[in-house]
Every structure is written in C-alpha cells, then in structure tokens.
Amino acid sequence: MTTDVAIIGSGNIGTDLMIKVKRLSTHLRVVAMAGIDPDSDGLARARRLGVATTHEGVDGLVRLPEFADVELVFDATSAAAHARNDAVVRDLGRLVVDLTPAAIGPYVVPVVNLGDHLDATNVNMVTCGGQATVPMVAAVSRVAPVAYAEIVASIASRSAGPGTRANIDEFTQTTARAIEVIGGAERGKAIIVLNPADPPLIMRDTVYCLVSGELDREAVRASVAAMAADVRTYVGGYDLKQDVQFDRVEEAFVPALGRPFSGTRVTILLEVAGAGHYLPEYAGNLDIMTSAALRTAEHLIADRTGVPA
C-alpha cells in the first residue's frame, strides 16, 4: 500500500526529497511538485520522473488533478512562505511536514520525539543544525541534567541556497528553542557558520553541554553512542568525529543562565555527510533534513493507516 504525497519547493531540498521518496520509500509515492520558477532543475527532473508539476506554487498545486489523492504535503520553501502554504493545504485536509524554520507545528526530531506527535497535522523539522545536534543534547540530558547547551553548525557556503540564507535568524531561534524543548537543556543557543572553503567541507557540528553536579562519564558516552547509532538508521553519513570530551568548570559565569556555573562541560564533535542522491556529499546539512522529513512522513502515515513504516 502506498500513499500519495506532494512537495512544495523545487529547489535543492525539495528535489533531493523527491528523489529520496522515489528511491527509498516503499510506503510513499510522490505524485506532484510545485515551484515558482518554471525553469528550475527540480521541476524539470520531476517531469522526467513522471511527477506532475506546476510553477504556480501552492495555488497551482491544489489545481493539479493528482492533488485529489494526496494525503501529505512536504513544504520545502521558506519560513515566510510556509504560513500560507500550510493554511491552504491543511484547510483541504492534508497533513503537512514543514522543512522550513516556520515552526507552526510541533518540533520533531525523529529519533528523539516523533512518537509524541503522531496525531499532529503539521510537524516542523526544526533546522539542519537541529536535526544534527538536538539528538546529542537529548542523549546527554537523559542521563544528566543539562543546564546549558550551545551548538555550532558549520556548513559549506555552497550548500546554503537562498532559502537558507533568508532564514538565518529563524534558524538560530528555532534551533535554540528545540535544544530546550526536545533536547532537554535548561537554556539553549545556536550558531550557524557558512564556510566558504573551496573545495567545500562536509557539515560539521560542535555540541557543548554544561552539566551540573556529579557526572557518570561512561553513562554519557554510552548514551551518545546509542543515539548516534539510532540517527544513522536514517542518516547514513552521521558520525561522531572523536570520543566525547569532558572538562571540569569551576564557578564560570554563564551569561545565558545569568549565574555562575560549576560542573562539567561535555563536548561532542559531529560530521554529517550527504548520501549523494541529488546533492553532493558535502551537503550533509540538506541531506539530514530530507532524510528526517522522509522518516517522519512515513511514521505519520503508518500511524494513520496501520501499515508499519
């Protein structure tokens, strides 16, 4: 049994997602793609793959005959565009998986909290930095209290398209909030770096967690390793670059907490390589978003149809 889905957004993320659905999913079938650039490579590829297309955005999408059987819509546009896209398709009874930082629906990081939101009609995939780092914050917080977590996501400038660049503020705000809401940190902060290196570098992420009180280092190592293995079930290029690092902190003032902190700083270093379905390997930041969105959509549909994902 397959479920028909559609994609809004014919840029890098939407196109990679379309190819992933076609190659990897036995439960979903992409039947329509909407964009706003009639000459986009994404729409051209979709047509070659037998997918119905429109360059008239969400309004054109809902007029396509194929939309009648669509159950779920992926939005791979921008935070600014998502509000209207969501209103249109949800008013027509479709589920929405939001790959923008708009955060209209609840944040979802599949390996951490997907089961909590299977009844939602709009779910938000946070950001690429959130998908990569929130699992690590959650891995630490499930075995130790995290007073503060800070993440630095470094991505190749060449993999940051106009949507990513337009949403930098939303990226930092949404990711920081997800670090708290999903990751379990008391306070969170997110930083994104667009690295102009040529040749482009693979996505790298650094996660810092300040842990109060006594810390069982072996428990943290085991939790982080287990979480990384879980993420790799749907993001094959997700890797820990070295062993978890621990540093003692004595009475250091933490501005985000507004107070001195004593405890342990836990540092986790990650690398995320893309699968190369449509995007180059260095674009792990985009690959982790489309992989997480696919995993989420499959489980949302499975929960409603009773067919295991």
**Structure-token pair, residue 307:** 């067919």
Q: Which H or E run contains 295?
A: helix 284-305
Statement: residue 273 has pLDDT above 80: yes
For residue 287, is pLDDT > 90?
yes
Concerning whether 209 is annotated as a catalytic residue, the answer is no
Q: Is 32 marked within a binding site?
A: no
- Percentage of the chain lying above the pLDDT 70 cut: 100
Phi then psi dihedrals of residue 259, to 5 deg:
-160, 165
Q: Is the pTM of this model over 0.85?
A: yes
pLDDT of residue 242: 94
DSSP 107: B
The DSSP output letter for 48 is H
pLDDT at 163 over 80: no
Average pLDDT in the chain: 95
Residue limits of CATH 3.40.50.720 in the chain: 3-125+288-305
- Say whether 113 counts as a known binding-site residue: no
- Homologous superfamily of domain range 3-125+288-305: NAD(P)-binding Rossmann-like Domain (3.40.50.720)
38 is in an annotated binding site: no
> Which backbone phi and psi does 209 adopt, to 5 degrees?
-125, 130
Q: 164 or 142: which carries more pLDDT confidence?
A: 142
Question: From CA 115, how far away is CA 106, in angstroms rounded?
Answer: 12
What is the DSSP annotation of 88-122? HHHHTT-EEEE-STT--S-B--HHHHGGGGTT-SE
Beta bridge partner(s), residue 203: 272
Identified catalytic residue from 28, 128, 139, 185: 128
Q: Is 13 annotated as a binding residue?
A: yes
Q: CATH 3.30.360.10 spans which residues of the chain?
A: 128-282
Q: Give the SS3 label for residue 13.
A: helix
Q: How confident is the model at residue 162 (pLDDT cuts 50, 70, 90)?
A: confident
Give the fold, CATH level 3, of 128-282: Dihydrodipicolinate Reductase; domain 2 (3.30.360)
163 carries a ligand binding annotation? yes
- From 142, 145, 138, select the one nearest 182 (Cα to Cα): 138
